[in-house]
Structure 1
Amino acid sequence: MNKLALLLALIPFLLTASINAKDVSLDQFPEQLRKGEVNNILSQFSEQPQMLAQVYSIMGRADKAYDLIQRLSNAPFCNDVGGYEKISGEARVKSMLADESIFMINENHFNPASRTLTMTWLPWLKAQGFTHIGFEALEPNERSKDGFYSQEPMMSNLIKTAEELGFEVFGYEAEKLAPEDAGFVERFEFRDKQQAKHVVAEIKKAPKDAKFVLFAGWGHVGEAPLRGPNSLTYRVLGDFLNNTYGYETFSIDTTACAFEPVDESPTTTYAYSNDGNVLNVGSVQPVDSQIRVPMAPADNPSYFRRLLGEAFLPNTDSWPPSTAVILQAYYAGTDVVADRVLSEANEKRPLFLDEGEYRVTLHDLDGNLLWQQRVNRTL
């Protein structure tokens, strides 16, 4: 692998490591969002490209992560598919998954594609006997969380859909932080050892016929040690589950090479196969299969969110024509986000809402409340 390809393969992990090393508290993030304090939030992450892309995704603007995702997906290994046939990633995974009892799927935190895909797969997974779903976004004993990851609309609705379908939702996130002076390897392994311990605890207390979906970020799904900076190897959640605790997982990577959709649905996936062997590239290669998911086009911020329901714009004169605003909907009686979207000056971008009751607010980006109303949505 040439130096450029190696750098691109490591970018997600290098960015994550640098972010984890910073003293950034996200505890106030949900409340700041509810108050519409967008300018304050954006200023906190202005020097952190990955986090800024993730924040924009949380604000319903996955299109603003386009440049970063495209750069990662233009790595040379993404285009080196000679001799491989392009096939349906979904069909490939489903043909192999029915007899598995632990299914691991990962995501790029600033591309909602994998959250969207998993949400639409949940009814099928339920029909195959899967009973539990775990999220790294939640700590143990939490069914939902007023936290960072779950503020993104597709993630929020993924968790909500799982609960409505009767999945046992649990968290397995690490509860302790690595020592401040920990290096790259120690930091990853410190976190993932805790994650594995929490997953195993859930498996042991579940019925013997229980089947698990584990939703994770980036390299946590690897079934063997991964290679980081300076060729250092480090162990991750999937490796601990398989090789320390003896649980066999079926894992897929969705992070290596996103594609720019033309006419494809937001849930379209591809894999590249040669005589039954799927091409795995990038930094998360020790998985059972790798599939490629779409990115939100640069000119289509609602590409994923449109699956949440029908377009909704409030009928109000309180929307200032030349001011950027954030429009947000929360499920009535909760702080669970249904959808939100940031509109720049002279734009009016809609929410996408299904039938139900919502608390809808409109703020300017300094947090001034311009309008709010309880909305009973019927379609």
Structure 2
Amino acid sequence: MKKIAIAIVIGFGALAVHAAPAQRDASKNPADDFFKAFNAQPDTFAEYRFLTSPVVQQDEYARNLSTQMLATHLSFLGRPVDALQSFPYRGSNAPQSDLPVPSDWMTVPASDWIAVQADAYRVIMVNEAHHAPQTRVLTIALLQRLRAKGYTHLAVEALLNDGTDPMPGGYPVRKSGIYTREPIFAELLREAVRLGYALLPYEPNDQGEQTQQQRESGQARAIAAVLAENPTSKVLVHAGYAHIGEAQEGLPDDARPMAMELATMSGLALLTIDQTSTRSHEAGDIDTVGRRLATQFAVDVASVLVSIEGDNAWSNRPGLNDASVLLPATPTQVLRPDWLALEGKRQAVAIDLTGCLGHLPCLAEARHADEGDDAIPADQFLMLVAGEAATPLYLAPGRYRLRLLGADGATLSDQSLQVATRPTPPSARTP
């Protein structure tokens, strides 16, 4: 099981881990002890409590090892801004070329632009930053539009690929994957299944050591096999970071990315949509190309920039990706930003968190009433201080089971919750 925990760390890149303290027993591997304890935790909330426990935070080695994992868990537990702030991007984010200006470029909603291009492709790839759930919203918005255009498969890097059904009950569970434990990702999978997509796990199931190139090639082969078996199949791929590069750049050991390999194996042209290189999803005081452009172009929905004199889209990584997406800014003072509403699919729902007082940290989780207790919640929020008692969950209309868990993981309350459809404002109704 150590492989699962390590995958969370590797997903973001190399950790800057300091040398072990001098008093540590040199005959023991501290990473083994850390992951053994981490993997003994029964659920995400317990993992969070372990990562923030004194035994981890007061040990320099363990604290550094836990940094990226803690950011991931904050995103899982409904605190996406905290996730970004706990693991901020501090590297160079210089543009590849002169930045676009409003006199030459205009914004187009990314889902609109991609839908127009979709007829010309059998494969569309969208990437994500694993600790930034906002980079999953666009893929959710694309699902219905691409299904209507004949797209048949949703290929997901994060899904468990061991030959079994990652969602045997029809809904995502803990064993479905690691990043799929985050509620927005879980909603992406639910919506895909509801619309009739076939889910395609494609991460190589290699229990031994593999090089970066073996991983990229293995991913590509899994997708290429589906395309070859059914000439009418069309695949929407949701991947991480540089895997969607169409040229040999950005991966360890100068590996050829999965997208580049897939194009060679299949002979198909790909449409690759980059959401990560501009870092427009970052919060706080971090100056990035994406944040500058999103402000300059007043972006309020995931958008691409299209040339006013032509129809070509701007890419921050020309030659690697066909278009770069700019995401709306996330205010740092907001615990739960409004993009959690998924473009109107969900709404902010006030819940009673007073039962959490005296039991902090406390987790509020809402599961669909027709799903089991093993289901990934439709939404959840980790309450850390008393002043957060008015924080809402974001839920679609329907029936839910709302449960509060105290600092020891014990259930404080368990009740039914009905979310009604909000009436359409009179000004928005069709005459």
TM-score, length-scaled by structure 1: 0.80
Aligned to 2:400: 358
Per-residue CA deviation, residues 301-325 of structure 1 (Å, 9 max, x unaligned), is: 3223233523334447522167331
Structure 2 distance, partners of 1:49, 1:295, is 24
1:105/1:60 CA distance change after superposition, 3 Å:
same
Higher relative contact order (CA 8 A, sep 6+): 1
- 1:170 aligned to which of 200, 225, 236: 200
> How far did 1:242 drift?
0.8
Aligned to 2:234: 211
Q: Superposition pairs for residues 1-379 of structure 1, below 5 Å?
A: 15-18=12-15, 24=35, 28=39, 31-33=42-44, 38-43=48-53, 46-47=63-64, 48-67=66-85, 71=89, 75-77=93-95, 80-81=98-99, 85-88=105-108, 90=110, 91-138=112-159, 139=161, 141-144=164-167, 145-146=173-174, 147-177=177-207, 179=209, 186=211, 188-206=212-230, 208-228=231-251, 232-257=253-278, 258=280, 259=290, 265=300, 267-271=301-305, 273=307, 275-276=309-310, 277-281=312-316, 286-294=320-328, 296-303=330-337, 304-307=339-342, 309-315=346-352, 318-320=355-357, 323-332=360-369, 333-334=371-372, 335-346=375-386, 347-348=388-389, 349-379=391-421
Between Structure 1 and Structure 2, which shows a larger proportion of strand residues?
Answer: 1
> How far did 1:236 drift?
1.7
1:105/1:117 CA distance change after superposition, 3 Å:
same
> How far did 1:337 drift?
1.9
Structure 2 distance, partners of 1:341, 1:158, is 18
Per-residue CA deviation, residues 83-122 of structure 1 (Å, 9 max, x unaligned), is: 6524225144333222211111111111122211111221
Structure 2 distance, partners of 1:371, 1:13, is 37
Aligned to 2:428: none
Residue identity matched to 1:40: F
How many residues align structurally?
A: 354
Contact residue 241 and residue 248 of structure 1 kept, 8 A? no
Contact residue 125 and residue 273 of structure 2 kept, 8 A? yes
Contact residue 362 and residue 404 of structure 2 kept, 8 A? yes
Structure 2 distance, partners of 1:190, 1:356, is 44
SS in 1 for 2:120: coil
> How far did 1:216 drift?
0.4
Contact residue 351 and residue 393 of structure 2 kept, 8 A? no
Structure 1 portions without partners, runs of 5+: 1-11
TM-score, length-scaled by structure 2: 0.71
| CA RMSD after TM alignment | 3.4
Residue identity matched to 2:327: V
> How far did 1:14 drift?
9.2
